[in-house]
Amino acid sequence: MDSNGDGFGDLKGVTMKLDYLQKLGVDYLWLTPFFVSPQVDNGYDVADYRNIDPRFGTMADFEELAKEAKRRGMGIMLDMVFNHTSTEHDWFKRALSGDKEYMDYYIFKDSPSDMPPTNWESKFGGNAWEYVPALGKWYLHLFDKKQADLNWENPKVREELKEILCFWKNKGVSGFRFDVVNLISKADYENDNEGDGRSHYTDGPRVHEYLKELVGDAGIEDMITVGEMSSTSLDNCIRYSGESEHELSMVFHFQHLKVDYKDGDKWSLMPADLKALGKFFADWQEGMQGANAWDALFWDNHDQPRALSRFGDDGKFRDKSAKLLAGIIHLMRGTPYIYQGDEIGMTNTHFHDITRYRDVESKNYYEILQERGLSEEEAITVIDERSRDNGRTPMQWTAEANAGFTAGTPWIEVVNNFGRINAASQIEEENSIFSFYKELISLRKSHKIISDGTISFDRNMPEGIISYTREYEGKTLTVWGNMTENEIQAECKGGVDRGDILIANYEDAPYTKDDTIALRPYELVAVLDK
């Protein structure tokens, strides 16, 4: 929400909407980075970790937000981007001027000016090294060239980062998300002959040691901490959040969101492989449980296209599929995260014009895809499906101009379905997507079986059906979700009594005395004690 009409959402705007979040049942608010930044990557390029970018407000605005959130029983979680800084950060500027102490804050390597030290690729396209003629050296940037990777091997860097955590802790922050934090320990600086370089720095050799040190020394063990883990493994996630090492409270991992990447390539489209989706959920949920490790449950965030447009149907079955997707993850084992707009069924942008996109990654890949031989039309079709901007358009508050987000011109266009899809029309509506989310949140708070129960998946379901059972103190809760637009018969031993249905997304939820249940398009059913 933009409070001052400059077109950017801001801290005061968030404070204005705390009552809305409270109504939904939110306990914690994760804010993406609002620190001083040249905004090459929407704030994930931080130039000053202790100050707020004026476009988002002032420190006084933040303190007011923290106070008002606390008054409503809500914690604030900040997003710490510690794998890299902006090249506008004072440390990097000093490094560029040749100050040896600060050069050691980053990863500078010698190599001839026409030969990057390794063949690693930046996650945003192109080589991951940038040459600095004045120094005769290259620096590493796993993301944009204006995001220089920090050298975690240097204990001074680690000290600086701990102090930043303490600074925000003292401001009343009670949780942290750590951005791409499993990339901080680089194994070596060798060419990657099989891939894009990620095997040389993903879940690297000292990452567990660094995380323990960071959390321990900053004294944030009792806070909610979540690590964003890029291309990670189950074994590592068990170490990050499991009882034996317990470095963080929980982890974000992404396997379930790659099931529509053809040959593992985000920029190659294919229909979602629903069998793989079900298997990833099953393997990771059960695997994490086995080690008492904890998942962050989510479909969407600021880096993902809307799951509703991707795995659901944002047309005819929008209402049903939005509720289905919500139910599938909210009834699982872990901590659910709702990304702004999911709770009202917001959709992808459908912009179909590169000038309407803002994201650096989308703009780069629009060019790269054409270099790879795609036509403009083919390239924009891929961008429409995969752009991170799909999740970044303004929150649709009302049916008024700019969806009520700003009195000025929004920094990125509002999706032009806000007349139909907006919060105002759903808040008081009993059968709305918003009310469904609200109910899921409240059920989790009233039913220990949801928050604390064990989970086991039925791996023999027909393709397209995700089904799992939660257990707690002798009770069971079984969930079926039909991820397709077809009716599918699924097994339900002993039938389903109407009275046992805890939550469902069709009003006339099915009941049956048979051992099978006919699940309609995008139907979700959760049954207690069956």
List interacting residues with ligand GLC (CB under 6 A). 41, 44, 81, 143, 179-180, 228, 302-303
Residue 151 or 478: the one with the smaller Cβ distance to ligand GLC is 151
Min dist. Cβ of residue 31 to ligand GLC (A): 13
Three-state DSSP class for residue 83:
coil
Residues labelled catalytic: 179, 228
Q: In Å, how far are 23, 282, 421, 434, 507 from 441, measured between CA atoms?
A: 11, 22, 21, 11, 19
Concatenate the DSSP letters of all residues of 334-373 into one string. SEE---TTGGGT--------GGG---HHHHHHHHHHHHTT
Residue 61 or 228: the one with the smaller Cβ distance to ligand GLC is 228
Residue 362 or 432: the one with the smaller Cβ distance to ligand GLC is 362
CA-wise closest residue to 213 among 181, 170, 189: 181
Min dist. Cβ of residue 125 to ligand GLC (A): 13
Instruction: Report how far residue 135's alpha carbon sits from residue 120's, in angstroms, rounded to the nearest whole number.
Output: 21
Min dist. Cβ of residue 239 to ligand GLC (A): 20
Min dist. Cβ of residue 399 to ligand GLC (A): 30
Instruction: Report how far residue 171's alpha carbon sits from residue 458's, in angstroms, rounded to the nearest whole number.
Output: 46
Say if residues 509 and 493 touch (Cβ distance below 8 Å).
no
Min dist. Cβ of residue 124 to ligand GLC (A): 8
**180 φ, ψ to 5°?**
25, 50
Residue 85 or 478: the one with the smaller Cβ distance to ligand GLC is 85
Q: Determine the residue with CB nearest ligand GLC.
A: 44
Residue 41 or 314: the one with the smaller Cβ distance to ligand GLC is 41
Count Cβ neighbours within 10 Å for each residue of 102-135 and write b for 16 or more, e otherwise: bbebbbbeeeeeeebbbbbbbbbbebbbbbbeee
- Strand 488-491 relative to strand 516-519, pairing: antiparallel
Three-state DSSP class for residue 184:
coil
Q: Would you report the helix, strand and coil content of the chain in percent, each value rounded to 5?
A: 35, 20, 50
Min dist. Cβ of residue 86 to ligand GLC (A): 10
Residue 182 or 478: the one with the smaller Cβ distance to ligand GLC is 182
Q: How far is CA 461 from the centre of its chain?
A: 28
CA-wise closest residue to 293 among 338, 228, 327, 243: 243
